[in-house]
Chains A and B, each alone.
Chain A
Amino acid sequence: MNKISMSDKILNINNENIELENDSKVIVNGKSKITVFNKYPNNLSLEVKDDSEVLIEDFRIIEEENTSIKLIMGKNSKLIYNHSFINKKEYNLNILTEYQSDNSIIKINVHGINNNGNTNIRIDGILGKNVGNELYESIRLINENNGKATIIPNILVDCKEVVANHAATIGKINENELNYLMSKGIEFKSARKLILNGFIINIFESTDLIIKIKEILNWR
């Protein structure tokens, strides 16, 4: 995997696996994969070219971040953005999706834990007049300790032949899950840790990334 760290440069990737560390503008061709592991590309613009496909897997531990992610889709393109985070202080995340043509799919999955942190997510989807596009947004946030969160979704559609789905939940750790694990003889503290870890890694496909995340997670 190539480690990329540069500013204000346009990065062309073609059937590649890259790891992003800084603000970037990326143009995707072919079938590519982008990983972010506890680095902060806070201004990320991504253009997926016609007939291209990209999987983005993004994990961050947040102290104080303002992050803007722009996803621009060409014709017959596909994008999956899996993002999980642990927020200890303040996280403002804006995601903008834009379809420039027809028949493209975007799937956005966000799992966040506000461990004393405050998270504000704004997610805008512009589908316009183009046909055959699909947008799936699923955001789940867990508030721990004094965590807080807001989610503001916005979907603009000017055409019937599209699918647009937004699902969001903000809540506490699931008590039934805690009770279940305790009923196997696991202590409350370990049960909580298992559930939070599971929640964070659960949305990722890459086993390498999952292993790396598990190594650094440590709950208080």
Chain B
Amino acid sequence: MLKVENLSVEINGKEILKDFNLNININEIHAIMGPNGIGKSTICKVIMGDPNYKVTKGSIIFNAFDLLKLDITERARLGIFLVNQSPIEIPGVTNAEMLRIALSERTGKNISIFEFNQKMEEICKRLAIPISFIHRGINEGMSGGERKKNELLHLWMLEPKLIILDELDSGLDIDSLKIVCQNILEYQKNHDCSILIISHHTELLKSLNTEYIHILSQGKIIKTGDLSLAAKIEKEGFKGFSVTNNVSENQKNE
């Protein structure tokens, strides 16, 4: 489904990813772990198509489409969906307004308001968020945890095929985390989709039944394992893996 090959990425002249490879098949759940500032969010944003990141080498193929030739909108319409580490707010633009436009542009059809509202209300219940969220400004004045749930409201409506969750657990209390994980699992059960998770926490990776754990260092994946690898990292840190933060520093050492 997603194939990232020899990808090198820069931001403001600084190389963050170098010959990065990642393969995700349909219905698989992968996670990337690594210390702060190593480039985990960078991977997420590059797959989504954030123009601030410069791809200097390599390719990203998604269901036979060359993503590097497509803009953000086109990638989203292929089914890529990113929940950012800290989702921003768009004052004055409501969830309903945004989702109606997103859906009608995608399908080229007018959306039935009745069905749309009904579906939104069902999802709000499922996510345990007030129905008033439907007509609230996107993430406007919402707490960190509420924002994550609000993003899942978008997810249910837009029905993506590749879900990228950048530190989903940040800002969520234990009960909310449970609801959010249940929602994701339920979504995954009913849709053919794959998930890429960024997290520092084994518990979250466990509750989402993560199959593959990758460790990111020096701009690429240096080790892949199962949940036991995540547990080991949570206990011992990244020390045993010679994880280096800086790509160029590493080049000097080589």
Q: Chain A residues in contact with chain B, CB under 8 A?
A: 176-177, 179-188, 190, 194-195, 197-202
Assess whether A186 is in contact with B93, with CB atoms less than 8 Å apart: no
The A-B contact count (CB < 8 A) is: 70
Residue B51 CB within 8 A of the other chain: yes
User: Considering the chains assembled together, what is the distance between the CA atoms of A201 and B77 in angstroms?
Assistant: 28
Residue B98 CB within 8 A of the other chain: yes
What is the chain A residue whose CB lies nearest that of B140?
A202
User: Considering the chains assembled together, what is the distance between the CA atoms of A177 and B50 in angstroms?
Assistant: 12
From DSSP, what is the main secondary structure of chain A's interface residues? helix
User: Considering the chains assembled together, what is the distance between the CA atoms of A143 and B176 in angstroms?
Assistant: 40
Assess whether A179 is in contact with B93, with CB atoms less than 8 Å apart: no
Residue B106 CB within 8 A of the other chain: yes
Pairs of residues from A and B, 5 with the lowest C-beta to C-beta distance, nearest first: A198-B92, A202-B92, A185-B76, A182-B72, A198-B93
Assess whether A185 is in contact with B158, with CB atoms less than 8 Å apart: yes
Contacting residue for B98 out of A186, A188, A199, A201, CB 8 A: A186
Residue B58 CB within 8 A of the other chain: no
Residue B60 CB within 8 A of the other chain: no
Assess whether A186 is in contact with B102, with CB atoms less than 8 Å apart: yes
Residue B105 CB within 8 A of the other chain: yes
User: Would you give 21 A-B contacts (Cβ < 8 Å), ordered by A?
Assistant: A176-B88, A180-B90, A181-B98, A182-B72, A183-B49, A184-B98, A185-B76, A185-B102, A185-B105, A186-B76, A186-B102, A187-B105, A188-B71, A188-B73, A194-B93, A195-B90, A195-B93, A198-B91, A198-B93, A200-B92, A202-B137
What is the chain A residue whose CB lies nearest that of B71?
A182
Contacting residue for B92 out of A182, A184, A186, A199, CB 8 A: A199
Min distance, Cβ B47 to any Cβ of chain A, angstroms? 11
Q: B92 — which chain A residues lie within 8 A by C-beta?
A: 197-202
Report if A198-B76 is in contact (Cβ < 8 Å); known contacts: A183-B82, A185-B106, A185-B158.
Answer: no
Min distance, Cβ B167 to any Cβ of chain A, angstroms? 17
User: Considering the chains assembled together, what is the distance between the CA atoms of A20 and B97 in angstroms?
Assistant: 30
Contacting residue for B76 out of A182, A190, A197, A200, CB 8 A: A182
Residue B101 CB within 8 A of the other chain: yes
Assess whether A182 is in contact with B73, with CB atoms less than 8 Å apart: yes
User: Considering the chains assembled together, what is the distance between the CA atoms of A179 and B71 in angstroms?
Assistant: 10
Assess whether B51 is in contact with A179, with CB atoms less than 8 Å apart: yes
Min distance, Cβ A185 to any Cβ of chain B, angstroms? 4
What is the chain B residue whose CB lies nearest that of A199?
B92
Residue B48 CB within 8 A of the other chain: yes
What is the chain B residue whose CB lies nearest that of A198?
B92
Q: A183 — which chain B residues lie within 8 A by C-beta?
A: 48-49, 72, 75-76, 81-82
Min distance, Cβ A84 to any Cβ of chain B, angstroms? 10
- Chain A proximity mask over B35-65: 1 for CB below 8 Å, otherwise 0: 0000000000000111100000000000000
